[in-house]
Amino acid sequence: MTDIMNSAAVKHVMKQCAAGEDPNTVAANTITAAGEQPVRAAVVRAAQLARDAEAHARERQHGKGKHTARERLDLLLDTGSFEEIGRFRGGDINGGKAGSAVITGFGNVYGRKVAVYAQDFSVRGGTLGRAEGEKICHLMDKALELKVPIIAIVDSGGARIQEGVAALTQYGHIFQKTCQASGFVPQISLILGPCAGGAVYCPALTDLIIMTRENSNMFVTGPDVVKAATGETISMNDLGGGVVHATRSGVAHYLGEDEADAIDYARTVLAYLPSNCDAEPPIYAYAATRAERETARRLSTIVPDNDRQPYDVLDVIRCVVDYGEFVQVHELFAASAVVGFACIEGHPVGVVANQPNVRAGILDVDASEKVARFVRLCDAFNLPVITLVDTPGYKPGADQEHAGIIRRGAKVIYAYANAQVPMVTVVLRKAFGGAYIVMGSKAIGADMNFAWPSSQIAVLGATGAVNIIHRKDLIKAREAGKDVDALRAQLAADYEHTTVNANLSLEMGEIDAMIDPEQTREAIAESLRLLAGKQRVRRTGKHHGNQPL
């Protein structure tokens, strides 16, 4: 790390000063390693301020169970790779002020360049004023110029009240630049302290938000304001803590056990993403083994024949992807759908799947938004989308209709229909109604579609369809004293045999092939090799679509 504190000559001076010697005298008598000139007193003064500032930060942060901003950067970036920009910008060296409440610079994550800023709560509560805003905007401009990811480490009291509208204006500039960067370079926000008021929209505009169980908070209006406005008494954690946003609101994409876990997740996610939208994702070495064949054979035993019996789709995913490694996104939110990153033959992909273990894998308002957002992320950064389908359809009920299932469910359609990355879909068991169409069907734009032999594809499940199609027959049977349940079961069996199976989809070309479960990984890998040269096409001259929001 290029830093004034790392100079051998400065370190020598600081050691002598710590022993009680006069810094100006020591500086004048200390010759640099090159043997050319003494260390200037101003440099020593700056080094002293930097050392004292970090000592002050450790004292304030460690007592709260938190790392300092620089310690967080050490955890995030490859060792020795951080190059700081404007360390003393916004400070007053002669007045004893080391710098502003944010650290900005560039470093490496797994050898690839990233831009990063870390708010320093030990300096004026990490609040954002003009100097801090200008530093962040300057960093973002450089990141866009260099086409590298932007990582924000947030720990701030919000806008600096003393600077009034000047501080708020800086948030406006950051919002604008974050929107400019959206879909161009990956943006990740680590919330490792408070983030309140208008400041919450900085991370809200980024691709991924990572929070921790303790110390991490996000809310537009704090507990005091809530109490004054509504009379409700609520704690910071219950209002906007990491658990709330990871499980209920869906604001947080990952909940870290602590800061180290949260930062490690950020590093892991970056390993799957390219540096920018014009680059391809990184490629990793992969060698097939006998274990892979044994894992493939396990697939035929995971999914039960009974279409009402639940199973964990994660078991399927781990049998399909390289080494069984799958990094979930939004793991604790809308659990009836699963999304995340993995590799197929060393190439990063995005995986979307219904989760039969949770409400039978049904699509509701939250699951729809979860899937849609993730597909858009993959499409923005050139990750193929693998979709594993097993869903009975959209969740019925007045609560869903009133919550906007039409508007929010349409987001899944918009995401898949506009995606231009390679898309491969496998129907594992059942795909009914509108949910079949939106979950990566060929009709909506998927490139390759497969189905397992036992899969069921139809407008409705057999029982539901029979209740509608044969309603009058069932009424007549009841009036005639016949066994209605037996008749319903017989009609359902006939419907399954003639309509619900995947043969009709095969004959129409909506399914490209029927595959045995153990062929799933092979079929996906071959499809991705075939689609490796897929190019984006600009179909119209429009500025952009009007996505349902």
**3-state SS of 82-122?**
CEEECCCCCCECCCCECCCCEEEEEEEECCEEEEEEEECCC
Regarding whether 260 and 145 lie in a shared domain, the answer is yes
Regarding whether 449 and 301 lie in a shared domain, the answer is yes
404 located within any domain:
yes
249 located within any domain:
yes
pLDDT at 112: 97
State pTM to two decimals: 0.90
Q: Which of 433, 434, 445, 464 is catalytic?
A: 434
pLDDT at 20: 58
Q: Choose one of 226, 243, 272: the last residue of a domain.
A: 272
Q: What single-letter amino acid sits at 443? A: A
The whole-angstrom separation of Cα 66 and Cα 60 is: 9
Q: Which of 125, 198, 404, 464 is catalytic?
A: 198
Active site residue 541: no
pLDDT at residue 24 greater than cutoff 60? no
Regarding whether 481 and 452 lie in a shared domain, the answer is no
pLDDT digits (tens, 9 = 90+) for 312-371: 999 999 999 999 999 999 999 999 999 999 999 999 999 999 999 999 999 999 999 999
The whole-angstrom separation of Cα 473 and Cα 394 is: 28
Burial class from Cβ neighbours inside 10 Å (0-12, 13-18, 19+) for residue 449 reads buried
State both tokens at 497: 């045999």
Regarding whether 487 and 353 lie in a shared domain, the answer is no
Q: Choose one of 272, 299, 314: the last residue of a domain.
A: 272
Domain of residue 526 covers 290-460+500-531
The whole-angstrom separation of Cα 30 and Cα 53 is: 24
**What element of type H or E holds 351?**
strand 347-354
16 located within any domain:
no
Q: What single-letter amino acid sits at 549? A: L
356 located within any domain:
yes
Phi-psi region of 241 (alpha: psi -120 to 50; beta: other; left: phi over 0): beta
Active site residue 434: yes
pLDDT at 491: 78
Regarding whether 476 and 330 lie in a shared domain, the answer is no
- Contact assessment for residue 502 and residue 514, using Cβ atoms and an 8 Å cutoff: yes
Regarding whether 154 and 165 lie in a shared domain, the answer is yes
Active site residue 361: no
- The structural domain count of the chain equals 3
Active site residue 240: no
Please identify which residue in the block is written with the tokens 């992969």. 286
Q: Choose one of 207, 237, 272: the last residue of a domain.
A: 272
State both tokens at 335: 């659990």
State both tokens at 233: 């008494």
246-248-251-253 Cα dihedral, nearest 10 degrees: 30
Regarding whether 302 and 385 lie in a shared domain, the answer is yes
Q: Which of 47, 115, 431, 435 is catalytic?
A: 435
Regarding whether 467 and 449 lie in a shared domain, the answer is no
What average pLDDT does the structure give for the chain?
A: 88
DSSP state of 139: H
Regarding whether 340 and 468 lie in a shared domain, the answer is no
CATH number of the domain residue 380 falls in: 3.90.226.10
Regarding whether 268 and 255 lie in a shared domain, the answer is yes
pLDDT digits (tens, 9 = 90+) for 411-437: 999 999 999 999 999 999 999 888 899
Regarding whether 466 and 519 lie in a shared domain, the answer is no
Neighbours of 288 (CB within 10 A): 11
Regarding whether 475 and 452 lie in a shared domain, the answer is no
134 located within any domain:
yes
The pLDDT-based confidence of 80 (bands split at 50, 70, 90) is very high
132 located within any domain:
yes
pLDDT at residue 481 greater than cutoff 60? yes
pLDDT digits (tens, 9 = 90+) for 261-299: 999 999 999 999 999 999 999 999 998 888 888 898 999
The pLDDT-based confidence of 456 (bands split at 50, 70, 90) is confident
Q: Which of 126, 133, 197, 242 is catalytic?
A: 197
